Amino acid sequence: MIVKVSKEKFWNNQYGIERWPEMIKDLPNEIPVKDKNAIAETYFNMKRDEKGRLNGSYEVYGLFDGEFKDNVLKITGCHFIVKDSNGYKLSDEAIQLKLTYIESNGWEIVLMEQLLKYSPRVRSIFFALINGGKIHFEKGFLNNMSKAYLEYDGELYHIFYDKNDKANLNTLLNGYPRHSVGEFWLKEYNISSEEEIKIEGISNEEPSLNSISSHIKIPFILMEYLQWFRETEVGVFKLDKLKIKQEISSDIWESFLNFEYYDELEVLQEIIYEHKDFREFFPVSIVGKELKEKIDPDNTLLIDKWIDQYFMTGIKAGKFRIVDNESGQPRHGRGLLDKRDHQLIKLQILK
């Protein structure tokens, strides 16, 4: 199946991340208009230039849905405004965005979730980052973007670059087409998840890279606002996956998972998060047992020996260090190395 991806259209960045919620807020849930340009003129007061073109209409077009015809899926927007028998209407997600924006109740996450569901370019980048990728900005986050690159699975992708002499965002899209398109578009048009997907541009074989740095920068600004990135080394940024997993819906999170990949330290951090107290101390025996079940279930070593071996090997390898320890209650179980004053420990992750 062919998936045609249009030039990316987000909101005009000079108006800030509130631009799309502000536009949607003023739309009725049912829009009795059958022409996109008419919506831009009627509801957003956009004017035509001397050639009859609507100034700034690209950010309006980015609100619309896709089209599936003759086994070709054409993606032109982020599925906030969808077709119905009387013209157009707001999607369920658009109505949710409108309500949360009016109530100032988490609309930023609702907006970001929509990009994660329906923008193939955003999905391709997020997929790589969720599964171990990292972005290099030598001069600081979103600075000197022409030289920035995403590192994933041994490859370097220049995702803000608009030429084809380097691996770019199109390389990433076509390398992981199923994850880039995602399950939400397929469900929208009842397309089988078994379909083989080939990504193209609207009128060319490759999707447009024109002004790609300006356009793809916009969702990065929103993610930065949400504090989803952390600098792990100078100029190297990764997603804060624990924070993101707590903030977005589980179906969106799971749509990005590559089950052939897992980061052992991320699994450890997730388990610690579930069991730590307000001081960041956790029971090493309880966390260790859960960790073994997830990352090394077939190991026949006695559980106490496995826990001691895992933590001491990790400390020696520089993965983490113990910054504090203390005794706990009988319910906390055995201490590390059978030391009572190591029933509860506090770790600093170093890698």
Taking residues 151-174, what's their average pLDDT?
A: 95
pLDDT for 1 beyond 80? yes
Q: Are 208 and 201 in contact (CB under 8 A)?
A: yes
pLDDT band at 266 (very low <50, low <70, confident <90, very high): confident
pLDDT band at 48 (very low <50, low <70, confident <90, very high): confident
pLDDT for 191 beyond 60? yes
pLDDT for 262 beyond 70? no
pLDDT for 58 beyond 60? yes
pLDDT for 49 beyond 80? no
pLDDT at residue number 56: 63
The phi and psi torsions of 156 (rounded to 5 degrees) equal -115, 120
pLDDT for 259 beyond 60? no
pLDDT at residue number 55: 65
Taking residues 55-66, what's their average pLDDT?
A: 83
pLDDT at residue number 146: 87
- Tell me the pLDDT tens digit for each residue of 270-323: 899 889 999 999 999 999 999 998 888 888 999 999 999 999 999 999 999 999
pLDDT for 53 beyond 70? no
pLDDT at residue number 328: 95
Q: Which has the higher per-residue pLDDT, 189 or 257?
A: 189
pLDDT for 46 beyond 90? no
pLDDT at residue number 261: 58
pLDDT band at 52 (very low <50, low <70, confident <90, very high): low
Taking residues 183-197, what's their average pLDDT?
A: 90
> What pTM was computed for the model?
0.80
